[in-house]
Structure 1
Amino acid sequence: MAEILRYFNWTYVSTVASEGDYGETGIDAFQQEARVRQICIATSVKVSRSVNRGNYENVIRSLQQKANAKVVVLFTKSEDARELLSAAARMNATFIWVASDGWGAQESVVHGSEKAANGAFTIELASYSIREFEDYFTKLTPELNTRNPWFREFWEHRFGCRVHEHGCAMKSLRNGAFKPESKIMFVVNAVYAMAYALHNMRQAVCPNTTKVCDAMKPGNGKRFYREFILKTKFDAPFRPADTENVVRFTSLGDSLGRYNIFYYRKEDNKFVYKKVGYWSQGLVLNTSVVNWATGVVPTSQCSDPCHPNEAKSMQPGDVCCWICIPCQPHQYLLDEFTCMDCGFGEWPLANLTGCYELPEEYIHWSDAWAVGPVTIACLGMLCTLAVAGVFLRNNDTPVVKASGRELSYILLSGVLMCYAMTFIYIAKPSAFVCALRRLGLGTSFAVCYSALLTKTNRIARIFGGARDSAQRPRFISPASQVAICAVLISAQLLVALVWLLVEAPGVRKEVGPDRRDVVTLKCNSLDSSMLVSLTYNCILIILCTFYAFKTRKCPENFNEAKFIGFTMYTTCIIWLAFQPIFYVTASDYRVQTTTMCISVSLSGSVVLGCLFAPKIHIILFQPQKNVTNLRAKENRFSSVATTAPSSTYSQASASTIVPTVCNGREVVDSTTSSL
C-alpha cells in the first residue's frame, strides 16, 4: 500500500483503521513503511467496534478537514469499509481510497455506494482455488462429516432446513452456486508447513523412531519455532502448473506476501474491479487501464507543487509540508530545496538546471567605435615617423640643432607612444593589456611633457641669465638636458609601478542592473585611480605652460618659445575638456574608450603640429632659412653690434655662434646644438 502511494507521489494521506488486532496492527505497519518512504499522515482515525451510522459520518468529517489529503488508506474490516462508503455517498465526499484486503475485491463492500468507491485501489492476497479441496468439501454430508461439529450448523444455514427433517440431509453442496473461500489455499499451506516442520524435527531429534519422542514434547516449543518452523521451505501443494509459489518465512515469522492490485472503475456502464498489477516483494502496475476523472494523476500533498522557478522551504519537523519561495532571476535550482546564485557573468538556463556564460563584449577592431581612433592613430604614427625621418636626414642642419636634437627625438618618441596607446586601448582587455595601459598612458605623456619642460626651462634660464648676468647657466648641455628629462620620466614610471603593485592589473566583468545583459570586459582599475596617476603629468603641463608664458616676449628670430606656448595652451584646453567628458561617458565604455583614444591622439597631434610642423616647413620648403648666421665673438655671452649673415649653408663648428635677441638684448650660445 505504501509503494502504491509512492508510485503516484501521494505523500500526504489520511488513515482509517478498524479497532482490533487486524486494523490497528495493520495501520501501524503501514505507518512504519510510510515514514520510510517520506509519506506523511494528515490524520489517523480509528473506527470502534460499537460505532453507529452517525459515527461513520464523523469519520468522514474528520477526513474532510484535511482538504489536501485526498487519499485515504483503509485498514478496516469489510463491514466498516462498507459503512464508510455509504457515509461518503450520503455526504457527497470524494476520496481516493487505498484499501487493504479487508475490502479486497468484494462486491458486498461497494454495493449501493459504487460512485463513492469509484477510483479506489484495493489489494487482495493472491490465491488460487484448490480443486481437490472443492471436490472433497462438496461431497460432505452431515452423516459423513461427524468430526466437525460446526458442519451441521453450516448445513442448516446453507439449505434453510433442519438436518433431522425429511430430505434435508439428502441435499448436496454441488447443487447451486457454491464458491469456497479464496483463502483456503493459505490454510492448506499452513497445515503443510506445520507437517514439514514436525517431520524435519523428528528426523533431527529422534531419527531412529517414527513416533513422537520426548524431545518433541510441548516444552520444546521455542526450539520448534526457531529451528524448524522459521526454516521450513517447500513448494506449495495443489498449485497450478504456471504458478510459482514457494512457501517460506521471514525471520519475524511472516510468510512472503503476494497481492493482486485492483482498480475499481466504471466499464461498459457497470462498475467492476479491474486487476492493474500485483506485488511480490516489489510493485508492478499497469496504469494504462487507470482512467482519472481529470485526465491527470490527482495530487495528495500537504503543499501544492512548486513552480519550476521556486524552491521548497520545508517546515521544521515535517517532510511533507513546505512553502514555495521564488528564486531570483539570476539563480538556478541546485536541488528542489535550494536556489543557488549563478556566477558573475552567468545566467540560468531556461530549465534552471544550471547556468551558462553570458557573451563577453568589448570593442572589436572592426567596430565603428574602433575604426575612427585607429585611423587617426595610424595617420599620426606615419606623420611622426616621417618627421623623425626628416630630422634624421637633416640632423646637422641649424634648424634641427636649434630645436635641441636629443630632446626632439625624445619628444617624437613620446608622440609615437601617444598614438600607440590607441591600439592598446582598443585591444581585448587582459591582465597584460591592462598593465600596458597603466604604464603606457602616463609614460607617453610624461615623455612628451618632460622633454617640453626641459626645453622651456632651459630657454627661460638662458634668457634669464642673459638678462641678469653674462655667466653661462648650468646644465644646458645636451647630455644634461637628456639626464634631466630621464629623471622627470622616471618619476612617472615610479608612480605607475607603485600603482601596479598596490592594485594588481586584471580584468573585471561588468553587467547591467538586471545582470542579464552581456558581460562587458574592462580593466579592473578605477577611473579615479587612472586620473590620479595622471596628476604628475598635470604638474608637468602646468610648469611647461608657465615657462612658455614666461618666455613669450622673445622676438620672431627666436620663435621656439612661441611655438611651445601654442602647444601648451592647446594641450591645456584638451585636458580641461577631456576630464569632464571622460566622466560623463563612463556609462558607455565604447564612447569612453573612443574619447580616451582620440584625446590622447590629439595631445600628440598638438605637439607634432604646433612644434614640429614649422620646422619641417622650413627644412622642406624654405631651405634658404636653414643656415647659420656667423658672428665673431670675443667671449661667451657678450653683446655685439652687427651681424654677418651668410647666404649659403655652412656647418656650425664649436666656435660658431647663433645670435638671439630677447627682451631687447642680444645673447649668443656657442654650444654645438643651440637654441
Structure 2
Amino acid sequence: MHLMGFCECALVAFLSSVISSQLLQQQACRLISGPSHLPVVAREGNITLGGLFSLHDTMMEARFSFKAQPESAQCVGFNFRTFRWMQTMIFAIEKINRDNHLLPNITLGYKIYDSCSTPRHALLTAMELMGGREEGSGDAFCQGKVPIVIGDGGSTLSMVVAHFLGVFELPQLSYFSSCACLSDKKLFPAFLRTMPSDYFQVNALTQLVQHFGWTWVGTVAGDDAYGRGGAQIFIDKVSKLGACIAFYEIIPKNHAPAEMARIVERISVSGARVVLVFALEQDAKALFTEALKHNLTGIQWLASEAWITAAILTTPEFQSILQGSMGFGIRRAEIPDLQPFLLRLHPSKFPDDPFVLQFWEEMFGCTPQIAISGTIANKPPCNGSEILADVKSIYSDVSQLRISYNVYKGVYAIAHALEAMLKCVPETGPFPGGVCPDTQTIKPWQLLHYLKKVDFTNEYGEETKFDGNGDAVAMYDLINFQLSETGEVQYATVGTFDETKSTKLLIEEKLIIWNGNQRQVPVSVCSNSCPPGTRKAIRPSFPVCCFDCIICAAGEVSNQTDAIECVTCGPEFWSNLKRNACIPKLVEFLSYGDTMGMALLAVALLGSCTTLAVGLVFAFKRHTPLVRANNSELSFLILSSLWLCFLCALAFIGQPTSWSCQLRHTAFGIAFCLCLSCILGKTMVVLMAFKATLPGSNVMKWFRPPQLRALIFLCTAVQVGICGAWLGLAPPVPRRLMTRESAQIILLCDMGSTLAFSLVLGYIGLLAAICFLLAFFARKLPDNFNEAKFITFSMLIFCAVWIAFVPAYVSSPGKYTVAVEVFAILASSYGLLLCIFAPKCYIILLRPEKNTKKHLIGKP
C-alpha cells in the first residue's frame, strides 16, 4: 500500500513519455475526439501563459460501467492557499500588462487549469494546454497553444507533466516542486523552477541536526517523489555526519488507519526525540491526527518546507503537539497591492470563472445566485451580503507570502525572457548564423533558451536567475512554530540559510521555543555521550550511534567526550581515579615514613641496643667464670658483628642511592661472614676442648687465640674479596622499575651482578652449614658445658630463615622485596643473639650461683 502513489505517478510518467513519443512520430496530428469538460480560467493575449494549480486536494474517480462514456472525475477539497497562488499569477500578469517599460505593446494572456493534486489529471490538463480541443485546430497539438507552462505545485505532478512537455522542449516553470530529482536535465530538459531544490533544503536540515547535536533522528516521508526523494537525501547526508536514523517510515497515500497507527507506535517506541516529517501538508496532517489519537507528546518535529507554514495545521487541535516545530521555509516577501487584488473577487464580477464560484461556495458555505439557475444547489443560496474582506482566511492572509512570491517571480522571469527575445538584434542572435527568434510565432525551445539566461533584480532587490540545472538560488528562513499570548499561531523566523554565503546557516537560539514550551534544546540520542574517562563500545547489531560507555583500563585515559579509544599513559605516569588525566606515578620504596619501614627500623634499633646491652653485661662480668670460659674475645667479636648486622639493616630502609646500594649488600655480607666466622671458631674451640681432655692430645695448640684470629681473618677475607670484586666489576646501582601494568615506580637496587650476589649468599650459607655440622657433632657434650647445643639451635634458625628467604624474595613485589631481605637479616641476627647469648645472660643476671667454676666443670 505504501507504494501505490509512487507507482501510479511512475506509470503515468511512463505513459506520458510513450504518448509524447508516438505523437512526434506521427506524420500528421489529429484532433482528439470529444469535447473538453475541464474547468479553465483564461484571458486572451498576444502571448498566452499556461498555468497548472492543484486547487483541489484530491479527485473522486467516476465508476466505469463499460456501457456508456464515463462522466468526468470530480475534484474535491478546495484549497484556499493554492487559489491564492493562482490569483498571484493573474496579479503579476496584469501588473506586467500595465507596465510601460516591460514588454510594451505586448499583452500577456493566461490559461489556467486545476490539476486536482492527481498525476493523471495533471497530465490531462497539460495535454489540454498543449493542443486544445477547438474545432479546426487539428494541428494545434503539435504547434502548441502556449509557449510555456507555470506549474505544477507538487513534485510528483511536475514530474509527470515535465516528462510530457520535455519531449516538445516546451519550458515548464514550477513554483513549488522541490524534488532534487527534477534537477536531472537528461530526464527533464525543459524544467525550471523558482523553488529551491530539496537538495539545498535537506542540506539545511542536515546542518540544523548537526548544530544541535542530534544523533538519533526519526524520518517519516510521504509516499511520493517529494517525500521519498527528500528523505533519502537527508538519510544519506546525516549518516555521513555520524548521526543515525532511528526509523524510516512512509505515509501511505490512502492514510490507512492501521498503517498510520503502526507508524505512530514506531515513533513512540524508537526513543527518538527529534523526528523529521518530509511530506506534503495533507500527509503531515494525517500523521499528526493519528498522533493526537495516541496522545504522542514530547516529540520535536522537524518540518519540510511543504507543511511548516501550512494553514491546515494551525488549528487549535494540533497546537498541543506541533508547538515548537521547526523547519525551513521559502524566504517570506511582501507584495504591495496583492491583498486588494485578492479581495476584488465576487461571483457577480467573474460569472464565467468556475473557480471563483467554487471558492465562494467553500468560503461562505452558500451557493452564489449566479450559479443557482439551471443547476441543483447543494448549499443554501447566498443572500448577497457576503464580503470577502470580513472573513479571515489563509487566502487573504498576505503575512506569509512564500510560494505566492515564487509564482510572482516566475511570471516576471518569463516576462524578462520574452523581453530579451524581442530585443534581439538581427545577425547577433543566439542561434546558428546569428539568427534571432521569430517573435510573431514564439517557439518554445527558443523561449527555453532565453529563460535559462534570465538574470534580473526585481523591485524588492532580489536577484532572480537559474543555475545549470534550472534551479533557483537557495535561500530559506528557519521558522519556529510558536503560540502568542492570545493562543494564535506565529511563524517566528529564528534563523536563515543562504547557499551563496560562506556561513550558510545562522541561528538565533535565544528566540527558539522548543516542543513543550521549553527553552532548553531537546536531546535526541540513542546513547548518552561518554564522558571523559570512558570510551565508546559499539553494540553489536545496532547503529553506530548506539553504544556503551566503558571505563578506561588502569593506566589509560580519555580526556574528551565520546572518545573512540583510551590512550595509554607514559611510562612515568598513571591514570587518575576518573581516568581523564595522567598523573605522575607514585614512587615506591621502603621508606622510614611508612608503617613497614618504621616497624623494621624499630626492630633493628631494638636489636642493636639489645646487642650493646649484652656487650655491657659481658664487659662488666668479664672476670666471671662463665664469660671467661666462653672465650670473651670471641664473644665480644660476635657481639660486635651482630651489632653491625642489625645496623646494616638500616641501609636497606630509605630511598636507594649509589652509596646505599653498594653499602647494604656488601656490609650485610661482610658482617654476617664475620659473625659466622667467629661462631665457627667458637664451635671448633668448644668441640676441641672436649677432645683435648683425652690423654696425649695436643690439639688445643691449634686453637689458641692467634690461630683463631687467623681463621676468622681468612674466612672474612674471602667475603671481602668477593665483595671487592663485585663493587669493582658490576656494583649495585639504584634503578627505577617502571612497568605499564603498575601504578608505582619502584625504586630498587639493581644487583649489578647476580652471580656476585649469589656468591655472597652462598658463602654465608657455606659457613652456616659448617657451623651447624660441627655444632651438631658436639651436641652430646656434658650439659653443664654444652654451648654447642645453643649454637646448633642458632644455626638451625639461621639456615631456616635464609632458605625461606629465597622464594619469598623472588615472589615479593616492589618494596616488599627489600622488606623480606631486611626481615631475613633481622630474624637471623635475633636468632643468633638469643640462642647464643640469652642462656648466658640468664645465668649471669638471674642465676649467679651457677656462674662458678665448680658448677661449669662439674658433672650433671
Q: Report the TM-score when normalising by structure 1.
A: 0.62
Match status 1:262 vs 2:489: no
Match status 1:427 vs 2:654: yes
**Residue number in structure 2 paired with 1:626:** none
Match status 1:599 vs 2:599: no
SS at match of 1:72: strand
**Residue number in structure 2 paired with 1:32:** 236
Residue 98 of structure 1: CA displacement?
1.1
Aligned residue type for 2:335: I
SS at match of 1:24: helix
Residue 125 of structure 1: CA displacement?
1.4
Residue 609 of structure 1: CA displacement?
7.2
Residue 540 of structure 1: CA displacement?
0.8
Residue 120 of structure 1: CA displacement?
2.3
Please show how residues 103-142 of structure 1 align to structure 2 within 5 Å. Answer: 103-111=307-315, 112-131=317-336
Residue 74 of structure 1: CA displacement?
1.2
Q: Which of 532, 547, 551 is the matching residue for 1:327?
A: 551
**Residue number in structure 1 paired with 2:507:** 284
Residue 313 of structure 1: CA displacement?
2.4
**Residue number in structure 2 paired with 1:237:** 458
Deviating more after overlay: 53-62 vs 278-287: 53-62
Distance 2:225 2:464 in 1: 24
Residues 456-481 of structure 1 show CA distances to partners (whole Å, capped at 9, x for unaligned) of 66997899799567998799879974
Q: Which of 534, 540, 543 is the matching residue for 2:767?
A: 540
**Residue number in structure 2 paired with 1:638:** none
Residues 298-317 of structure 1 show CA distances to partners (whole Å, capped at 9, x for unaligned) of 44444566688764322457
CA change 1:143–1:162 in 2 (3 A) is closer
Please show how residues 157-556 of structure 1 align to structure 2 within 5 Å. Answer: 157=358, 178-180=396-398, 181-190=401-410, 214-215=433-434, 229=452, 236-239=457-460, 254-268=471-485, 270=487, 272-275=489-492, 277-280=494-497, 281-287=504-510, 289-293=512-516, 297-303=521-527, 311-315=535-539, 319-324=543-548, 326-327=550-551, 330=554, 334=558, 335-338=562-565, 348-349=575-576, 351-357=578-584, 359-360=586-587, 362-365=589-592, 368-369=598-599, 372-373=602-603, 375-376=605-606, 414-415=641-642, 417-429=644-656, 433=660, 437-450=664-677, 452-453=679-680, 481=711, 484-485=714-715, 488-489=718-719, 493=723, 506=735, 534=761, 536-547=763-774
Residues 299-353 of structure 1 show CA distances to partners (whole Å, capped at 9, x for unaligned) of 4444566688764322457544534254378476535444677789977545432
Distance 1:269 1:142 in 2: 35
Residue 102 of structure 1: CA displacement?
0.8
CA change 1:292–1:99 in 2 (3 A) is closer
CA contact (8 A) 1:495 1:533 kept: no
CA contact (8 A) 2:325 2:515 kept: no
CA change 1:65–1:428 in 2 (3 A) is same
Residue 597 of structure 1: CA displacement?
5.9
Aligned residue type for 2:251: V
Deviating more after overlay: 151-160 vs 439-448: 151-160
Residue 71 of structure 1: CA displacement?
3.0
Distance 1:597 1:4 in 2: 74
Q: Which ranges of structure 1 fall in alignment gaps of 5 or more residues?
A: 166-170, 388-398, 556-561, 614-661, 663-675
Please show how residues 618-633 of structure 1 align to structure 2 within 5 Å. Answer: none
Residue 277 of structure 1: CA displacement?
1.9
CA contact (8 A) 1:301 1:320 kept: no
CA contact (8 A) 1:26 1:75 kept: yes
Distance 2:517 2:607 in 1: 73
**Residue number in structure 2 paired with 1:2:** 206
Distance 2:227 2:491 in 1: 25
CA change 1:455–1:381 in 2 (3 A) is closer
Aligned residue type for 1:12: W
Match status 1:67 vs 2:290: no
Residues 256-281 of structure 1 show CA distances to partners (whole Å, capped at 9, x for unaligned) of 43322333355536252352622322
**Residue number in structure 2 paired with 1:22:** 226
Residue 89 of structure 1: CA displacement?
1.5
Distance 1:123 1:453 in 2: 102
Residue 543 of structure 1: CA displacement?
1.6
Distance 1:31 1:543 in 2: 88
CA contact (8 A) 1:193 1:229 kept: no
Deviating more after overlay: 103-112 vs 461-470: 461-470
Aligned residue type for 1:238: E
CA contact (8 A) 2:333 2:402 kept: yes
CA change 1:292–1:27 in 2 (3 A) is closer
Residue 101 of structure 1: CA displacement?
1.1
SS at match of 2:270: coil
Residue 216 of structure 1: CA displacement?
7.1
CA contact (8 A) 1:454 1:481 kept: yes
Aligned residue type for 1:445: F
CA contact (8 A) 2:648 2:668 kept: yes
Deviating more after overlay: 269-278 vs 186-195: 186-195
Aligned residue type for 2:209: L
Residue 41 of structure 1: CA displacement?
2.5
CA change 1:457–1:378 in 2 (3 A) is closer
SS at match of 1:324: strand
CA contact (8 A) 2:573 2:583 kept: yes
Residue 73 of structure 1: CA displacement?
1.3
Residue 442 of structure 1: CA displacement?
3.4
CA contact (8 A) 1:548 1:565 kept: yes
Residue 198 of structure 1: CA displacement?
9.2
CA change 1:291–1:446 in 2 (3 A) is same
Q: How many equivalent pairs are there? A: 570
CA change 1:544–1:20 in 2 (3 A) is closer
Percent sequence identity is 19
CA contact (8 A) 1:82 1:109 kept: yes
Residues 197-246 of structure 1 show CA distances to partners (whole Å, capped at 9, x for unaligned) of 8999999x979858988557799989998x9958x876x42337xxxx56
Residue 494 of structure 1: CA displacement?
9.7
SS at match of 2:459: coil
Distance 1:43 1:188 in 2: 38
CA change 1:151–1:184 in 2 (3 A) is farther
Distance 1:364 1:188 in 2: 89
CA change 1:44–1:300 in 2 (3 A) is same
CA contact (8 A) 1:302 1:320 kept: no
Distance 1:341 1:403 in 2: 64
Deviating more after overlay: 67-76 vs 378-387: 378-387
CA change 1:454–1:73 in 2 (3 A) is same
Q: Which ranges of structure 2 fall in alignment gaps of 5 or more residues?
A: 1-204, 362-367, 373-385, 438-442, 498-503, 618-627, 842-856
Distance 1:32 1:138 in 2: 45
Residue 421 of structure 1: CA displacement?
1.7
Aligned residue type for 1:542: A
CA contact (8 A) 2:801 2:827 kept: yes
CA contact (8 A) 2:218 2:272 kept: yes
**Residue number in structure 1 paired with 2:279:** 76
Residue 18 of structure 1: CA displacement?
2.3
Aligned residue type for 2:322: A
Distance 1:82 1:566 in 2: 107
CA change 1:139–1:24 in 2 (3 A) is same
CA contact (8 A) 1:17 1:76 kept: yes
Distance 1:120 1:61 in 2: 17
CA contact (8 A) 2:418 2:447 kept: no
CA change 1:426–1:197 in 2 (3 A) is farther
Residues 494-543 of structure 1 show CA distances to partners (whole Å, capped at 9, x for unaligned) of 99899989x9975668999xx99x98867789xx9999974542331232
Residue 121 of structure 1: CA displacement?
2.0
Distance 1:449 1:107 in 2: 108
Aligned residue type for 2:327: T
Deviating more after overlay: 259-268 vs 15-24: 259-268
**Residue number in structure 1 paired with 2:440:** none
Aligned residue type for 2:247: T
Distance 1:438 1:252 in 2: 89
Q: How well do the aligned residues superpose, as a CA RMSD in angstroms?
A: 6.3
Deviating more after overlay: 473-482 vs 437-446: 473-482
Distance 1:103 1:564 in 2: 111
**Residue number in structure 2 paired with 1:572:** 795
